[in-house]
Amino acid sequence: MSGKTVNSAILLLVIGNAMAIISDVFIKLLEPGAPIFQFAFLRCVITLLLLLPLAGQLNRKHLFSGLKVHAVRAHIHLAGILCMIVALANLPLATANAIFYAAPILVMVLSTIVFREKLTPLSVVAVFSGFAGIVVILRPVEFNWAAIAALAAALTLAINAVMVRKLPKEQTTVHKLLLNYLLIIPAAGALAIWEGAAWDSSILISAVGSAVFLLGYNITVLLAYKQVDANQVTSAEYTGLIWAVGIGWIWFSEVPDLWFAVGSAMIVVPLILVGLRSRQRSPRVLRAYPVSG
């Protein structure tokens, strides 16, 4: 495989992770006290509408195969969206995203529980270092509901990543996404009605922006991993944290401190080393999780 192809895939992931952070920015720009259920419902509806032109990729023979698993994943995803909104609204952009990177660590832990997979010594180091890094970033004095929401969002990402292996292999990624959002909408709509908030056009603008850029992220990821083996470029996923620091600094005047730098390194560096070790041992490692939800 040529270096040019690998570089192209890395560039796609760098751009994609920037788009994911911009999607987060649209959430962060919501007014204080904005109706989060209304926002979540609108974003899910918009995402589904954006996916509809790709409905030709649905496998009609397995249209609703694995419906129970899809339904559970969909509602866990909705919970993750709500937790992510709370976290982004109350934490610095970079801090929230650093905690979201606990997802791959939690995937490793959950995989040992659900699939009886064995962790390598390096993976064990990554798990303990990652959790310690989160403590360093948050510090007990700053541990609040927003931090708990960020950790909960990371947990939902991890659970959904692990549950992917329970989904029918006959269904394409687009098929799984369409079912996911189709099943989310009733619950999201019910929550929005229960919330009873007045219609706010600014919420619609934020929901459209967040949905479009998040879908752009997912498309770049699919294109990148279609070109090369995942283990060759997975480390480029962590450029999302660099984008979060830069955009948070410029746009929201959020200046990271030394605690953030040390904690982020404790989370990300061991994960990169795990990825590099996997690259040496295995010819192909599939991408395990999406960082943004």
Q: Give residue 62's pLDDT.
A: 83
Q: In the predicted model, is pLDDT for residue 210 greater than 80?
A: yes
| Any domain includes 290 | no
Write the pLDDT tens digit of every residue in 229-288.
Answer: 655 666 777 888 999 999 999 999 999 989 999 999 999 998 888 877 765 554 433 333
Q: In the predicted model, is pLDDT for residue 214 greater than 80?
A: yes
| Any domain includes 68 | yes
| Any domain includes 83 | yes
Write the pLDDT tens digit of every residue in 63-118.
Answer: 888 899 999 999 999 999 999 999 999 999 999 999 998 888 898 899 888 888 88
Q: In the predicted model, is pLDDT for residue 218 greater than 80?
A: yes
Helices (H), the chain: 3-28, 36-51, 67-90, 93-100, 103-114, 121-138, 145-163, 173-195, 201-227, 230-233, 239-252, 258-281
| Any domain includes 115 | yes
* pTM for the full predicted model: 0.88
| Any domain includes 124 | yes
* Domain around 225: 3-281
Write the pLDDT tens digit of every residue in 183-202.
Answer: 999 999 999 999 998 888 88
The total domain count for the chain is: 1
Q: In the predicted model, is pLDDT for residue 179 greater than 90?
A: yes
CA distance 285 to 246: 30
| Any domain includes 241 | yes
| Any domain includes 69 | yes
Q: Give residue 228's pLDDT.
A: 64
Instruction: Give the closest residue to 222 by CA, choosing from 59, 105, 51.
Output: 51
- C-alpha count within 13 angstroms, C-beta hemisphere, residue 70: 21
